[in-house]
């Protein structure tokens, strides 16, 4: 697109570009990949290096043309607001969608001088800030949007020139990489956060251990269990069970799992645990194989433990069972009574109704659910129990 030609690389060694200064600026650019809060400072350093008055990283939607300034330096908050509210409609940047990634362009590459200077964007947004031109470079494109680096020139600095283009050219590959690296890190972080959230929803306590049986992660239920300390507690970075006998079994299992004991296989093992003050629990230990070439040892988990209460919870959503089998509210109450309280007499007493009534309901329930024994009803309800915490 550009009519301007850049100096062919290597054609001249510019004495004015100090290698140490360039190196330091490039380093700043990558620091912002790890901590996005550095961007305003980095954009200021970039503006200084290329001789610009303001700079921003923004994205434009390919279809709606909506613009969003992600990071900026040198734009007054008032004008930033004006841009987000109104002036994204009038900026001359949409044609950039068709320019090559990494190609440095300026306003007169997409609009004529007169068209630009007559337009609202120049008159109402650019000129009032004392600016004249901008060097723009597309950093990345997706199917729906493109991201660009825009560096604005003041009246004193004058229109974009070859010197500025050459300098923007030098930092563009690093801007592209830094933005990409930042995205990859964010994406991996978001993925891990979604998985961690998912584990938090599980009713069982989930604890991840490293090879030395130190705790590296706990889900919400496990944190609750550790806080009460009736069942398990943290001891020296590792896990201890209040139940003495179980404690030993647990340590042995964790150690075996952590060291990839083949005997454990992928099936894992289970250890019964008694809580102080009553309550039965079961701990299932799952050895982790890890994925990819990275060794599990240096990056965290070697085994996962699931601790769940060995009591059959009432169904988390009894209405789902009722809807599935067309049970009336009375029938549902009797079903829950049979599962929770026991036989006909116990259910009658719990619900405060006659045994004959319980029996009548029970027979209809058998008919509707295609079962014949109370034991079958317990199984049916168990099938609908939720693995999730409430």
Please, what is the minimum distance in Å from the beta carbon of residue 346 to another protein? 10
Residue 166 buriedness (CB in 10 A; 0-12 / 13-18 / 19+): middle
47 belongs to the binding site for another protein (CB under 8 A)? no
248 belongs to the binding site for another protein (CB under 8 A)? no
Q: Which of residues 332-371 bind another protein (CB under 8 A)?
A: 338-339, 342-343
| Region from 113-121, 132-140, 223-231, 379-387 binding another protein, contact rule CB under 8 A | 379-387
In angstroms, the CA 175 to CA 139 distance is 7
Q: Which of residues 116-155 bind another protein (CB under 8 A)?
A: none
Nearest to 137 by CA among 110, 99, 174: 99
Residue 165 makes CB contacts below 8 A (sequence gap 6+) with 4, 6, 104, 135
Give the phi and the psi of residue 109 in degrees, each rounded to 5: -80, -20
Tokens at residue 315, please?
């169904």
In angstroms, the CA 304 to CA 289 distance is 11
Report the Cα–Cα distance between both ends of the chain, in Å, rounded.
60
Q: Which of residues 159-188 bind another protein (CB under 8 A)?
A: 170-171, 173-174, 177-178, 180-181, 184-188
373 belongs to the binding site for another protein (CB under 8 A)? yes
Closer Cβ to another protein, 132 or 365, answer by number: 365
| Region from 155-163, 192-200, 222-230, 234-242 binding another protein, contact rule CB under 8 A | 192-200
194 belongs to the binding site for another protein (CB under 8 A)? yes
Q: Which of residues 60-89 bind another protein (CB under 8 A)?
A: none
Q: For residue 48, what are the β-bridge partners?
A: none
Closer Cβ to another protein, 52 or 205, answer by number: 205
20 belongs to the binding site for another protein (CB under 8 A)? yes
Three-state secondary structure call for residue 133? strand
User: Total residues contacting another protein (rule CB under 8 A)?
Assistant: 100
Binds another protein by CB under 8 A, chosen from 201, 255, 330, 357: 201
Backbone angle region of 236, left / alpha / beta, with phi > 0 → left and psi within -120 to 50 → alpha: left
């Amino acid at each position: 697109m550009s009519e301007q030609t850049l100096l062919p690389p290597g054609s001249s060694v510019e004495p004015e570009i100090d290698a140490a200064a360039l190196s330091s600026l490039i380093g700043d650019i990558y620091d912002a990949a790890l901590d996005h809060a550095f961007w305003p400072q980095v954009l200021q350093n970039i503006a200084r290096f290329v001789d610009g008055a303001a700079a921003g990283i923004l994205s434009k939607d390919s279809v709606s043309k909506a613009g969003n300034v992600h990071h900026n330096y040198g734009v007054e908050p008032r004008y930033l607001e004006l841009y987000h509210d109104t002036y994204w409609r009038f900026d001359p940047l949409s044609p950039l969608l068709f320019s090559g990634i990494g190609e440095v362009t300026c306003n007169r590459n997409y609009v004529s001088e007169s068209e630009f200077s007559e337009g609202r964007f120049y008159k109402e947004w650019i000129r009032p800030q004392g600016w004249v031109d901008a060097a723009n470079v597309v950093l990345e494109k997706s199917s729906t949007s493109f991201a660009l680096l825009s560096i604005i020139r003041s009246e004193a600095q004058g229109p974009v020139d070859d010197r500025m283009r050459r300098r923007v050219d030098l930092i563009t590959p690093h801007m592209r990489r830094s933005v990409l690296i930042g995205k990859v890190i964010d994406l991996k972080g978001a993925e891990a956060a979604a998985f961690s959230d998912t584990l938090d929803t599980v009713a069982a306590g989930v604890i991840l251990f490293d090879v030395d049986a130190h705790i590296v992660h706990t889900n919400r239920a496990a944190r609750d269990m550790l806080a009460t300390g009736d069942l398990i507690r943290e001891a020296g970075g590792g896990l201890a069970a209040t139940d003495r006998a179980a404690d030993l079994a647990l340590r042995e299992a964790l150690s075996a799992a952590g060291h990839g004991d083949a005997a454990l296989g992928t099936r894992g093992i289970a250890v019964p645990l008694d809580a102080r003050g009553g309550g039965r629990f079961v701990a299932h230990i799952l050895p982790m194989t890890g994925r990819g070439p990275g060794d599990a040892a240096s990056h965290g988990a070697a085994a996962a433990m699931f601790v769940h209460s060995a009591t059959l919870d009432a169904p988390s959503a009894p209405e789902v069972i009722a809807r599935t089998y067309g049970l009336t509210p009375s029938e549902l109450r009797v079903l829950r009574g049979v599962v929770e309280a026991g036989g006909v007499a116990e259910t009658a007493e719990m619900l405060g109704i006659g045994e004959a009534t319980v029996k009548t309901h029970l027979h209809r329930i058998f008919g509707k659910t295609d079962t014949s024994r109370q034991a079958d009803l317990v199984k049916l309800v168990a099938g609908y129990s939720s693995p999730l915490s409430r």
